[in-house]
Amino acid sequence: MPHQLIYRSRLAAPRHLAGVPQLVLHAGRRNEALGITGLLIRMGEYFLQVLEGPASAVMALYDAIAADPRHTAVVLIRSEPVARRRFQSWHYVPVDGKGAAAQALVPLDAGDDDDDRVRGIVESFMDGAWSDPSPAPSPSAAFVPRHAPAPGPVALPPPTDATEVRFALQPIVEPGRRRVSSVEFLLRGPQGQAPTALLQGLSERQRHQQDLAWKALAFAEATRLDLPCRVAINLSPGALLSAPDAARALMAMAEAHGWAPGRVIVEITEEEAITQPDQFHLAVSDLKAAGFVTAIDDFGAGHAGLSLLAQFQPDKVKIDRMLVQDIHRTGPRQAIVRAVLDCCRRLGITVVAEGIESVEELAWLQAAGVQRFQGLLFARPLVGGMPPVRWPSSAVRREAGPALAGVQRSRVA
Closest CA to 263 of 293, 223, 288: 293
**What is the smallest separation between the CB atom of 386 and Mn ion, expressed in angstroms?**
17
* DSSP letter, residue 330: B
Residue 226 phi/psi, 5° resolution?
55, 50
State whether residue 374 is helix, strand or coil.
coil
Contact flag: residue 182 with Mn ion (CB under 5 A): no
E strand spans, 12-165: 37-43, 46-53, 71-81, 90-95
Is residue 267 a contact residue for Mn ion (CB under 5 A)?
A: yes
Of the pair 234, 366, the CB lying nearest Mn ion is at 234
CA pair distance 160, 66, nearest whole angstrom = 54
Taking the complex as a whole, the smallest distance from the CB of residue 268 to Mn ion amounts, in Å, to: 9
221 binds Mn ion (CB under 5 A): no
Q: Do 321 and 355 form a contact (C-beta atoms < 8 A)?
A: yes
User: Mask: binding to Mn ion, 190-219, rule CB under 5 A, as x and -?
Assistant: ------------------------------
Q: Between 11 and 353, whose beta carbon lies closer to Mn ion?
A: 353
3-state per-residue secondary structure call for 133-189: CCCCCCCCCCCCCCCCCCCCCCCCCCCCCCCCCEEEEEEEEEHHHCEEEEEEEEEEC
How many residues touch Mn ion under the rule CB under 5 A: the total is 5
CB of 136 to Mn ion, least distance (A): 27
Min dist CB 149 to Mn ion, Å, is 29
Q: Please, what is the minimum distance in Å from the beta carbon of residue 412 to Mn ion?
A: 20
Contact flags string 353-392 toward Mn ion, x per CB under 5 A: -x--------------------------------------
Cβ proximity to Mn ion: between 297 and 361 the closer is 297
Q: Is residue 259 within 8 Å of residue 289, measured between CB atoms?
A: no
Question: Between residues 221 and 354, which has the closer beta carbon with respect to Mn ion?
Answer: 354
**Does residue 234 touch Mn ion according to CB under 5 A?**
yes
For β-strands 179-188 and 230-234, DSSP reports them as parallel
| DSSP count for the chain of H helices, then E strands | 13, 14
Whose Cβ is closer to Mn ion: residue 42's or residue 321's? 321
Stretch that binds Mn ion, among 30-38, 81-89, 150-158, 231-239 (CB under 5 A): 231-239
- The answer to whether 156 and 384 have CB atoms below 8 angstroms apart is yes
Measured over the CA atoms of residue 383, residue 287, residue 308 and residue 369, the dihedral's sign is: negative
Print the binding letters for residues 312-351 with Mn ion: x by CB under 5 A, - otherwise: ----------------------------------------
Query: What minimum distance in Å lies between the beta carbon of 22 and Mn ion?
Result: 49
**Bridge partner residues of 41 (DSSP):** 48, 93
**Shortest distance, position 297 Cβ to Mn ion, whole Å:** 4
d(CA 378, CA 397): 17
Q: Closer to Mn ion by CB, 181 or 234: give it.
A: 234
Angstrom distance (rounded) from CA 308 to CA 299: 10
- Least Å from the CB of residue 320 to Mn ion: 7
Q: With respect to Mn ion, which residue has the nearer C-beta, 286 or 298?
A: 298
Residue from the set 211, 221, 270, 298 that interacts with Mn ion by CB under 5 A: 298
The CA angle 186-191-197, to the nearest 5 degrees, is 65
Interface stretch with Mn ion, choices 134-142, 150-158, 193-201, 261-269 (CB under 5 A): 261-269
Instruction: Report the interface residues with Mn ion, using CB under 5 A.
Output: 234, 267, 297-298, 354
